[in-house]
Amino acid sequence: MAPTQKGKQGTKGAKQIVEENKTTLAFYRNMAIGCAAPALLLSFLVFEFSKVTIIMYILSLAILGGAYQFMAFMSQAKFSETGALLDSGNDLNMEGGIAENVKDLIILTSGTLLMALISNYFWLVLLLAPMRAGWMLWGSFIKPWLAQRNAQEEPELDEKKQKKMERKMRRMR
């Protein structure tokens, strides 16, 4: 990679984004399959399983499949009829992007599948995903919306009251 200026992040080319997206998708696909397949095999061949276990495995596989398909859809490149790259798709490795949260979901679910081999109580770890989503929703939308509503509802002081408040503040110093 070419050296960049100090303090300034270099930009990626469209072809580089496409290649990095392919390797990222392959990594997370392999992670999901590499955790789900052994967990399923060990669970159903060695351990006893219940309705809860079956439901949780189905839910986990749906999460892994949905997250992977979402990332594949986001990063889908568009090519012209001649094979020239028109659009590289979204960069899956961009910091602060939605793909970062989807990758975290795949990691969380894969880890939960493996930890659930130890105890069924580890299925509760999957509750971290909706809790994180709620926290992000609160910080990004709900809290700013409430703050904006409260700021609008505060009555504005007329000039006389504002001057009186300023005099009080000066006296207190």
How far is Cα 91 from Cα 95, in angstroms, rounded to an integer?
A: 9
Reading phi first (left if > 0) and then psi (alpha if -120 to 50, else beta), residue 12 is in beta
Phi, psi for residue 54 in degrees, rounded to 5:
-65, -45
pLDDT at 4: 46
Helix (H) or strand (E) holding 86: strand 85-87
pLDDT at 146: 83
Task: Look at residues 109, 51, 98 and name the one whose alpha carbon lies nearest to residue 73.
Answer: 98
Render pLDDT for 54-79 as a digit per residue (tens, 0 to 9): 999 999 999 999 999 999 999 888 88
Task: Tell me which long-range contacts 36-45 makes (C-beta under 8 A, separation of at least 24).
Answer: 36/60, 36/61, 36/64, 36/110, 36/113, 38/114, 39/113, 39/114, 39/116, 39/117, 42/117, 43/116, 43/117
Phi, psi for residue 155 in degrees, rounded to 5:
-70, 140
Question: DSSP secondary structure string, 95-117?
Answer: TTSHHHHHHHHHHHHHHHHHHTT
pLDDT at 1: 43
0.85 exceeded by pTM: no
Render pLDDT for 28-59 as a digit per residue (tens, 0 to 9): 999 999 999 999 999 888 887 789 999 999 99
The angle formed by the CA atoms of residues 98, 34 and 103, to the nearest 5 degrees, is 5
Cα torsion through 107, 110, 113, 115, rounded to 10: -50
Residue % of the chain over a pLDDT of 90: 42
